[in-house]
Copies of this chain bind each other. A is one copy, B any other.
């Protein structure tokens, strides 16, 4: 039971929803927050249902294909709160992903390493621009704090990249 379950339980706490609705919302509005794919969401909902955290019943509107409607149970509400507390209380380890590449940085010619980090800086700028376009109001306090957080880390990353490139320029190869 992880963050993905927390997200699904949180969405169902707000209102009962059918699978498609849930996945649409995630794809349209939460693509920055999670990369959970549709079949994963269905799988987790199945598990949550099997374990009694959500109830599932099928509904048929007109003669469209039947929908699976999920609602949270009291046990699910409890689990949501517990998970939320656990999640908020701990700081997850900072991204290793980019670092493995860094470990091998010195295996490339210095000039190329610099060029690649400059590309990384552009990539970062693009991502950042997309975040800055996000309307800051509309969102509730939690979401605003989350956006603020990401932007601060992006600025830190930009600063670090600038420094790293300078270090590479100043340090003799080998």
Contact = CB atoms under 8 A, between A and B. Distances in A.
Interface in A117-169: 117, 119-121, 123-124, 127, 140-143, 145-146, 148-150, 152-157, 159-160, 163-164, 167-168
A76 B19 CA distance: 43
Q: So how many copies of this chain end up in the complex?
A: 2
A116 B91 CA distance: 11
Given A34-B96, A90-B123, A94-B150, A143 B102 contact: yes
Contact of A116 (B13, B89, B153): B89
Interface in A57-90: 80-81, 84-85, 87-90
A35 B95 CA distance: 11
Contacts of A145: 102, 105, 164, 167
Nearest to A6: B100
A102 B84 CA distance: 9
A22 interface: no
Interface string A1-37: 0010011001001000000000000000000111100
6 contacts: A34-B100, A92-B98, A94-B153, A105-B141, A141-B167, A149-B160
